[in-house]
Chain A
């Protein structure tokens, strides 16, 4: 029969030109391929033409080991195995081979093994269809190597997580249509149809759109000639339907025309009983259109479009690849920016630029690996999963966040910047995975830039309470300080304080579990969650300032230190220092009075808390060592008040010392508003560390807010509108410089670690 004749012809070819890897390829070889490879030789020749044979020979035992490793995970159900499992019964289901466990298991093993080999692809729908066809003609191991050849060489990037390669070839196909069928191209472009139709043609090599016996012939040609044949045939299909397509008025009609045509491409030489094609099976044709002989289609594709050359296609791919990647990135950016528009007060342009900076921060670590020496558990490259929703695609770790925070944030706090950054990171990282996405990043940034004084103070207040402040802070602050300054002297003045701070927070962390930021590890959310979220969306935000927990003395002193640092480079520095000193001492007394109310309510019936009510009679000067109290700053109050106030003054002095040392480099004269000499400051700083803090003392956010509102320089400072644009511009400029130098310094870094 026909099949026997084909085999005979191949045998003659083998005897003349050799068989296996040493076979000569002649013009006769192509003719034989175009006539259809006989089933008995199909597997062998596919292996030969694709080069899979060489790979298999050079990796003996590889597949077996891979299967064992991949399937050995057995009980671990990953997304990939789940996706594969779902499609096993939807791969050539019309073929007997895949209607029993033998075929299904082989398919499962090959796909799972491949996903294990190449996590960058994992499993993509369409691979199941192609692989099932490979399995029909080759043993399992060969089918695996054929799949490797397809995914990694012959159809580059087709099946990756954004099907980039298929999109690239779709673009190439459009270009080719324009070159070969210009008239049709115009019309098709208006309908926007080429992109719709061609994806399945390329991803499944026509296997999902044509009857199997016909499509498999195209696979023969593909293994021999490469992607060129697929383009040729695709063009020939359009050419054959030219008239019908030109009269279509929308893409739906065009889809129908082409679908019907492809359903009726038949192979009349087929040996096996015809396998009914799924589409043909289901598409009820009122007037069955004429059948098309697949051999005629192949022949005409060579006649009309055979001039297409592989190297030209390769060149076109380069051009398209840039376009595709660019448009994927643009879509991502647009979608993210649009989503964030409603959530922040930044303009579109600002958001777009911030997105680019954020992405660059993420990408920089992919390329330069700057984070690997900082003990980060996952590299940025691993962290980027393009299959995730856009907002989640790029995420940054605390260190990267810290860099952006210090260059883009409006609150620069000298030596305290890394500490604040780490705390803000913890507030923003809602799911506590150690990474912050763009949305979370913008939420934080917007909080600092926009909103009124209350909003900004609220954020500042939160930054000095758990969970922003955490037990490990001391260590991360150490790391960050080293990273940012590399300045030993400064570390000395800063770190011990942070260390004692850390201890304090271990205990205080217990007392408030109720703050909004604290959330358990993120599980798959049920619909109830969304109903709640949805209900929440409808009402205005309800978190009031009363929800904020009270603050203890240590935390309050910490706030003051932060404020001092924030003000240190401000033009209004002097007034701001004075204002905060006034407000802080007022608050200290308020906290003191509040404590007394808490303990002996009967003694103080008045509800109004004001510093004038604090009795000065209990002052006992012996309790306070003169050197601890800056003379000009502490008015006499009750003795506990004096003690704690002294501590605050020390703290403030500490803070100022830090900011002072910071400032020394630029301007020595700019710092001291509290009239103390540097030596005294240092002295006080040392003493403070040994002193006890008052445990019962506490104040509320409302009290802090009220006191700060009485000082107009502070109000002015927090209400002032700040522009992020200059920061973004300098950040970009800095990045450009870094790019030039960082590869060298990165090298040094590696040598030193």
Chain B
């Protein structure tokens, strides 16, 4: 049985190979850190509920993507139906930071006519000694693109909850103000059934199958 949720947001996680996309998602959805893992082939899927305000739960569908260039033709298909995204780089790998721009371009050109709310994530911040990207420059870059910037560590569980929750809150705010709307044929945002909340009749009929709780 499905837990009650107000909205479902589809997120996509992108970034260079080995920046720790899968590990970050697993820390968030399963609460543990995998010492060992294998590379993601194609795409993988995870989900979790987050409570952004007391009683207000959002279901997150998180799509994990392969970082290697040759899988782009496959991962590209997942931008269109995403409302939010985490763009990861590894703070100990400068190249992965330099590629942030390319990732944004890639996303931008495949998400149309929709748009994605991105969060820039500097991952592996537990490895302070090997840092190659300063917080200041990352913040500056994020600012230039109008993104928030968060530094996380899946190993030490630093800011993982924070990163996902903040992004969810940002999207939620945009949904509330009507800047992001639920659309037929677009999976980015779906509405759930919540008792005592007035919904348009269309939304209720669309989602009542899962909500016979």
Q: Could you say which of B38, B76, B95 contacts A208, with CB atoms under 8 Å apart?
A: B38
Which of B66-74, B148-156, B175-183 is near enough to bind chain A?
A: B66-74
Question: In the complex the two chains form, what is the Cα distance from A163 to B42 in whole Å?
Answer: 10
Task: Decide if A601 is an interface residue (CB 8 Å cutoff).
Answer: no
Contact B98 A527 (CB under 8 A): yes
- For B112, list chain A residues within 8 Å (CB): 338
Least distance between B187 CB and chain A CB atoms (Å): 7
Contact A259 B140 (CB under 8 A): no
Contact A527 B71 (CB under 8 A): no
Task: Decide if A403 is an interface residue (CB 8 Å cutoff).
Answer: no
Inter-chain CB contacts under 8 Å: number? 122
Residue of A nearest to B145 (CB): A534
Question: In the complex the two chains form, what is the Cα distance from A270 to B210 in whole Å?
Answer: 40
Q: Could you say which of A91, A196, A259 contacts B38, with CB atoms under 8 Å apart?
A: A91
Contact A163 B37 (CB under 8 A): no
The residue in B26, B109, B137 that gathers the most chain A C-beta atoms within 10 A of its C-beta is B109
Task: Decide if A524 is an interface residue (CB 8 Å cutoff).
Answer: yes
Contact B109 A338 (CB under 8 A): yes
- For A339, list chain B residues within 8 Å (CB): 109
Task: Decide if B52 is an interface residue (CB 8 Å cutoff).
Answer: no
Task: Decide if A328 is an interface residue (CB 8 Å cutoff).
Answer: yes
A167-B73, A196-B43, A252-B61 are contacts. A129–B17 as well, Cβ < 8 Å?
A: no
Encoded as 1 (CB less than 8 Å from any B CB) or 0, chain A from 141 to 177 comes to 0000000000000000000111100010000000000
Question: In the complex the two chains form, what is the Cα distance from A200 to B73 in whole Å?
Answer: 14
Task: Decide if B32 is an interface residue (CB 8 Å cutoff).
Answer: yes
Task: Decide if B97 is an interface residue (CB 8 Å cutoff).
Answer: yes
Question: In the complex the two chains form, what is the Cα distance from A135 to B2 in whole Å?
Answer: 44
Q: Could you say which of A204, A278, A534 contacts B36, with CB atoms under 8 Å apart?
A: A278
The residue in B42, B74, B137, B140 that gathers the most chain A C-beta atoms within 10 A of its C-beta is B42
Task: Decide if A66 is an interface residue (CB 8 Å cutoff).
Answer: no
Which of A82-90, A216-224, A619-627 is near enough to bind chain B?
A: A82-90
A526-B98, A527-B101 are contacts. A162–B70 as well, Cβ < 8 Å?
A: yes
Least distance between A543 CB and chain B CB atoms (Å): 22
- For B45, list chain A residues within 8 Å (CB): 196, 251-252, 255-256, 259
Question: In the complex the two chains form, what is the Cα distance from A250 to B192 in whole Å?
Answer: 13
A335-B110, A530-B101 are contacts. A208–B41 as well, Cβ < 8 Å?
A: yes
- For A255, list chain B residues within 8 Å (CB): 44-45
Interface residues of A in 551-571 (CB under 8 A from B): none
Task: Decide if A525 is an interface residue (CB 8 Å cutoff).
Answer: yes
Question: In the complex the two chains form, what is the Cα distance from A161 to B31 in whole Å?
Answer: 35
Interface residues of B in 45-62 (CB under 8 A from A): 45, 47, 61
Task: Decide if A478 is an interface residue (CB 8 Å cutoff).
Answer: no
Task: Decide if B159 is an interface residue (CB 8 Å cutoff).
Answer: no
The residue in B95, B102, B140, B144 that gathers the most chain A C-beta atoms within 10 A of its C-beta is B144
A163-B74, A252-B61, A282-B30 are contacts. A125–B66 as well, Cβ < 8 Å?
A: yes
Least distance between B83 CB and chain A CB atoms (Å): 14
Contact B109 A335 (CB under 8 A): yes
Least distance between B2 CB and chain A CB atoms (Å): 9
- For B77, list chain A residues within 8 Å (CB): 195
Contact A527 B141 (CB under 8 A): yes
Least distance between A162 CB and chain B CB atoms (Å): 6
Question: In the complex the two chains form, what is the Cα distance from A531 to B140 in whole Å?
Answer: 9
Question: In the complex the two chains form, what is the Cα distance from A249 to B209 in whole Å?
Answer: 9
Question: In the complex the two chains form, what is the Cα distance from A560 to B26 in whole Å?
Answer: 69
Task: Decide if B88 is an interface residue (CB 8 Å cutoff).
Answer: no
Question: In the complex the two chains form, what is the Cα distance from A28 to B178 in whole Å?
Answer: 67
Question: In the complex the two chains form, what is the Cα distance from A208 to B17 in whole Å?
Answer: 17
Task: Decide if B34 is an interface residue (CB 8 Å cutoff).
Answer: yes
- For A199, list chain B residues within 8 Å (CB): 41-43, 74
Question: In the complex the two chains form, what is the Cα distance from A283 to B34 in whole Å?
Answer: 11
Q: Could you say which of B40, B73, B98 contacts A525, with CB atoms under 8 Å apart?
A: B98
- For B141, list chain A residues within 8 Å (CB): 527, 530-531
Encoded as 1 (CB less than 8 Å from any A CB) or 0, chain B from 64 to 104 comes to 00101111011011000000000000000001011011100
- For B144, list chain A residues within 8 Å (CB): 530-531, 534-535
Q: Could you say which of B68, B71, B140, B187 contacts A250, with CB atoms under 8 Å apart?
A: B187
Question: In the complex the two chains form, what is the Cα distance from A255 to B26 in whole Å?
Answer: 16
A252-B47, A284-B30 are contacts. A87–B137 as well, Cβ < 8 Å?
A: no
Contact A93 B41 (CB under 8 A): no
- For A282, list chain B residues within 8 Å (CB): 26, 30, 32, 34
Q: Could you say which of B34, B70, B71, B110 contacts A278, with CB atoms under 8 Å apart?
A: B34
Question: In the complex the two chains form, what is the Cα distance from A94 to B97 in whole Å?
Answer: 30
Question: In the complex the two chains form, what is the Cα distance from A281 to B37 in whole Å?
Answer: 11
A162-B73, A163-B70, A387-B70 are contacts. A527–B41 as well, Cβ < 8 Å?
A: no
Task: Decide if A107 is an interface residue (CB 8 Å cutoff).
Answer: no
Task: Decide if A745 is an interface residue (CB 8 Å cutoff).
Answer: no
Q: Could you say which of A204, A278, A535 contacts B41, with CB atoms under 8 Å apart?
A: A204
- For A250, list chain B residues within 8 Å (CB): 61, 187
- For B40, list chain A residues within 8 Å (CB): 125
Residue of A nearest to B70 (CB): A161
Interface residues of B in 114-169 (CB under 8 A from A): 137, 140-141, 144-145
- For A387, list chain B residues within 8 Å (CB): 69-70
Q: Could you say which of B36, B47, B140 contacts A256, with CB atoms under 8 Å apart?
A: B47
Task: Decide if A459 is an interface residue (CB 8 Å cutoff).
Answer: no
Q: Could you say which of A167, A256, A527 contacts B97, with CB atoms under 8 Å apart?
A: A527
Encoded as 1 (CB less than 8 Å from any A CB) or 0, chain B from 12 to 48 comes to 0000011000000010001110101111111111010
Q: Could you say which of B41, B69, B76 contacts A203, with CB atoms under 8 Å apart?
A: B41
Task: Decide if A126 is an interface residue (CB 8 Å cutoff).
Answer: yes
Contact A249 B210 (CB under 8 A): yes
Task: Decide if A50 is an interface residue (CB 8 Å cutoff).
Answer: no
Residue of B nearest to A192 (CB): B77
- For B76, list chain A residues within 8 Å (CB): 331
- For B71, list chain A residues within 8 Å (CB): 125, 163
Question: In the complex the two chains form, what is the Cα distance from A183 to B34 in whole Å?
Answer: 39
- For A585, list chain B residues within 8 Å (CB): none
Least distance between A608 CB and chain B CB atoms (Å): 47
Contact B37 A90 (CB under 8 A): yes
Contact A328 B34 (CB under 8 A): no
Least distance between B6 CB and chain A CB atoms (Å): 17
Task: Decide if A128 is an interface residue (CB 8 Å cutoff).
Answer: yes
Residue of B nearest to A207 (CB): B38
Contact A124 B187 (CB under 8 A): no
Encoded as 1 (CB less than 8 Å from any B CB) or 0, chain A from 105 to 138 comes to 0000000000000000000111011000000000
Question: In the complex the two chains form, what is the Cα distance from A274 to B193 in whole Å?
Answer: 43
A278-B36, A527-B100, A530-B101 are contacts. A124–B42 as well, Cβ < 8 Å?
A: no
Question: In the complex the two chains form, what is the Cα distance from A278 to B22 in whole Å?
Answer: 12
A86-B17, A527-B137 are contacts. A125–B39 as well, Cβ < 8 Å?
A: yes
A199-B41, A249-B209, A530-B141 are contacts. A124–B68 as well, Cβ < 8 Å?
A: yes
- For A200, list chain B residues within 8 Å (CB): 41-42, 44
- For A389, list chain B residues within 8 Å (CB): 102, 106
Residue of B nearest to A159 (CB): B70
Binding site for B on A (CB under 8 A): 83, 86-87, 89-94, 124-126, 128-129, 160-163, 167, 195-196, 199-200, 203-204, 208, 249-252, 255-256, 259, 278, 281-284, 328, 331, 335, 338-339, 387, 389, 524-527, 530-531, 534-535
Please give me the 7 A-B residue pairs with the lowest Cβ-Cβ distance, nearest first: A93-B36, A199-B42, A255-B45, A200-B41, A530-B101, A125-B39, A252-B61
A86-B17, A90-B36 known; 11 new pairs, CB 8 Å cut-off, are A125-B71, A128-B39, A161-B70, A163-B73, A199-B41, A200-B41, A250-B61, A252-B45, A339-B109, A526-B98, A531-B144
Binding site for A on B (CB under 8 A): 10, 17-18, 26, 30-32, 34, 36-45, 47, 61, 66, 68-71, 73-74, 76-77, 95, 97-98, 100-102, 106, 109-110, 112, 137, 140-141, 144-145, 187, 209-210
Q: Can you list 13 pairs linking A and B with CB atoms under 8 Å apart? A: A87-B39, A90-B38, A93-B38, A125-B41, A128-B38, A163-B74, A199-B43, A251-B45, A278-B36, A282-B30, A527-B140, A530-B101, A534-B145
